[in-house]
Protein backbone atom coordinates (compact mmCIF):
# COMPACT_ATOMS: atom_id res chain seq x y z
CA UNK A 1 0.00 0.00 0.00
CA UNK A 2 1.24 3.48 -0.84
CA UNK A 3 1.85 6.04 1.85
CA UNK A 4 0.96 8.86 -0.55
CA UNK A 5 -2.52 10.29 -0.12
CA UNK A 6 -4.82 12.82 -1.71
CA UNK A 7 -5.99 14.59 1.42
CA UNK A 8 -9.78 14.98 1.55
CA UNK A 9 -9.44 17.99 3.87
CA UNK A 10 -6.83 20.20 2.12
CA UNK A 11 -6.80 18.52 -1.33
CA UNK A 12 -3.01 18.27 -1.42
CA UNK A 13 -0.93 15.33 -2.53
CA UNK A 14 0.88 14.49 0.70
CA UNK A 15 2.30 11.65 2.75
CA UNK A 16 0.37 9.76 5.39
CA UNK A 17 1.89 10.29 8.82
CA UNK A 18 1.58 7.37 11.26
CA UNK A 19 2.12 8.26 14.90
CA UNK A 20 1.91 5.63 17.66
CA UNK A 21 -0.52 6.17 20.56
CA UNK A 22 0.65 4.89 23.94
CA UNK A 23 -1.09 4.24 27.22
CA UNK A 24 1.73 4.10 29.71
CA UNK A 25 4.37 1.92 28.04
CA UNK A 26 1.89 -0.04 25.91
CA UNK A 27 1.11 0.86 22.33
CA UNK A 28 -2.66 0.96 21.91
CA UNK A 29 -2.94 2.23 18.35
CA UNK A 30 -1.87 4.74 15.73
CA UNK A 31 -3.08 8.13 14.57
CA UNK A 32 -3.16 8.61 10.81
CA UNK A 33 -2.76 12.19 9.66
CA UNK A 34 -2.01 14.28 6.57
CA UNK A 35 1.57 15.54 6.55
CA UNK A 36 0.51 18.75 4.77
CA UNK A 37 -2.37 20.01 6.94
CA UNK A 38 -2.33 17.68 9.97
CA UNK A 39 -5.91 16.43 9.49
CA UNK A 40 -6.40 13.21 11.50
CA UNK A 41 -8.28 10.41 9.75
CA UNK A 42 -10.73 8.35 11.81
CA UNK A 43 -9.50 4.94 10.60
CA UNK A 44 -7.40 3.17 7.98
CA UNK A 45 -10.48 2.56 5.79
CA UNK A 46 -11.24 6.28 5.25
CA UNK A 47 -7.69 7.27 4.22
CA UNK A 48 -7.76 8.38 0.54
CA UNK A 49 -4.64 6.62 -0.72
CA UNK A 50 -3.20 7.81 -4.01
CA UNK A 51 -3.54 5.16 -6.72
CA UNK A 52 -0.24 3.81 -7.99
CA UNK A 53 0.31 4.50 -11.68
CA UNK A 54 0.77 1.42 -13.84
CA UNK A 55 4.24 1.05 -15.30
CA UNK A 56 4.31 1.50 -19.06
CA UNK A 57 4.74 -1.68 -21.07
CA UNK A 58 7.65 -1.07 -23.39
CA UNK A 59 8.53 -4.62 -24.35
CA UNK A 60 6.33 -7.64 -24.95
CA UNK A 61 7.12 -11.36 -24.98
CA UNK A 62 7.49 -11.14 -28.75
CA UNK A 63 10.48 -8.80 -28.26
CA UNK A 64 12.42 -11.29 -26.14
CA UNK A 65 15.18 -13.31 -27.79
CA UNK A 66 15.33 -17.08 -27.63
CA UNK A 67 17.16 -18.57 -24.64
CA UNK A 68 20.83 -19.02 -25.45
CA UNK A 69 22.42 -22.31 -24.37
CA UNK A 70 26.19 -21.82 -24.21
CA UNK A 71 27.07 -25.35 -23.10
CA UNK A 72 25.61 -28.64 -24.19
CA UNK A 73 24.33 -30.97 -21.47
CA UNK A 74 27.27 -32.00 -19.28
CA UNK A 75 29.83 -30.07 -21.32
CA UNK A 76 30.59 -27.61 -18.52
CA UNK A 77 31.12 -30.48 -16.06
CA UNK A 78 34.65 -31.08 -17.44
CA UNK A 79 35.99 -27.74 -16.26
CA UNK A 80 38.78 -27.55 -13.68
CA UNK A 81 36.26 -26.14 -11.24
CA UNK A 82 34.62 -29.60 -11.03
CA UNK A 83 37.86 -31.65 -11.01
CA UNK A 84 39.05 -33.64 -7.98
CA UNK A 85 42.58 -32.22 -8.44
CA UNK A 86 41.41 -28.58 -8.30
CA UNK A 87 42.60 -26.75 -5.17
CA UNK A 88 41.57 -23.20 -4.25
CA UNK A 89 43.59 -21.07 -1.86
CA UNK A 90 43.29 -17.35 -1.07
CA UNK A 91 46.23 -16.67 -3.37
CA UNK A 92 45.74 -18.96 -6.38
CA UNK A 93 43.82 -21.78 -8.01
CA UNK A 94 46.00 -24.85 -8.39
CA UNK A 95 45.96 -28.23 -10.17
CA UNK A 96 47.50 -30.83 -7.86
CA UNK A 97 47.85 -33.31 -10.75
CA UNK A 98 49.83 -31.07 -13.13
CA UNK A 99 51.37 -28.99 -10.31
CA UNK A 100 50.53 -25.68 -11.93
CA UNK A 101 48.29 -22.66 -11.52
CA UNK A 102 44.94 -22.96 -13.33
CA UNK A 103 41.68 -21.05 -13.68
CA UNK A 104 38.27 -22.46 -12.80
CA UNK A 105 37.19 -22.38 -16.45
CA UNK A 106 40.24 -24.27 -17.77
CA UNK A 107 39.92 -27.87 -18.92
CA UNK A 108 42.26 -30.76 -19.72
CA UNK A 109 42.22 -34.40 -20.88
CA UNK A 110 43.17 -35.65 -17.40
CA UNK A 111 39.90 -34.52 -15.82
CA UNK A 112 38.78 -36.60 -12.83
CA UNK A 113 35.36 -35.69 -11.39
CA UNK A 114 35.29 -34.56 -7.77
CA UNK A 115 33.20 -36.62 -5.38
CA UNK A 116 29.80 -35.24 -4.44
CA UNK A 117 30.58 -35.42 -0.69
CA UNK A 118 34.05 -34.01 -0.08
CA UNK A 119 35.81 -35.95 2.67
CA UNK A 120 37.58 -33.80 5.22
CA UNK A 121 40.36 -35.40 7.25
CA UNK A 122 39.73 -35.91 10.93
CA UNK A 123 42.21 -33.47 12.43
CA UNK A 124 41.32 -34.02 16.06
Spatial distance between the Cα atoms of 47 and 33, rounded to a whole number of angstroms: 9
pLDDT: which is higher, 120 or 24: 24
pLDDT, tens digit, 9 for 90 and up, residues 41-100: 998 899 999 888 777 788 888 888 888 877 677 777 788 888 999 999 899 999 999 999
Helix (H) or strand (E) holding 21: strand 13-23
Residue 115, pLDDT score: 79
pLDDT, tens digit, 9 for 90 and up, residues 11-45: 889 999 999 999 999 999 999 999 999 899 998 89
pLDDT, tens digit, 9 for 90 and up, residues 38-58: 899 998 899 999 888 777 788
Range(s) within the chain of domains with CATH label 2.20.70:
75-115
Hey, how many other C-beta atoms are within 10 angstroms of the C-beta on 33?
21
Rg (CA), the chain: 31
> What is 75-115's CATH topology?
Ubiquitin Ligase Nedd4; Chain: W; (2.20.70)
Amino acid sequence: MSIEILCSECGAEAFLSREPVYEGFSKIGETLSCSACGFVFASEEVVPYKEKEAAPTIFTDADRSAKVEVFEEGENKRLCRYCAEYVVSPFMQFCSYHKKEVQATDSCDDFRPASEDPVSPDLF
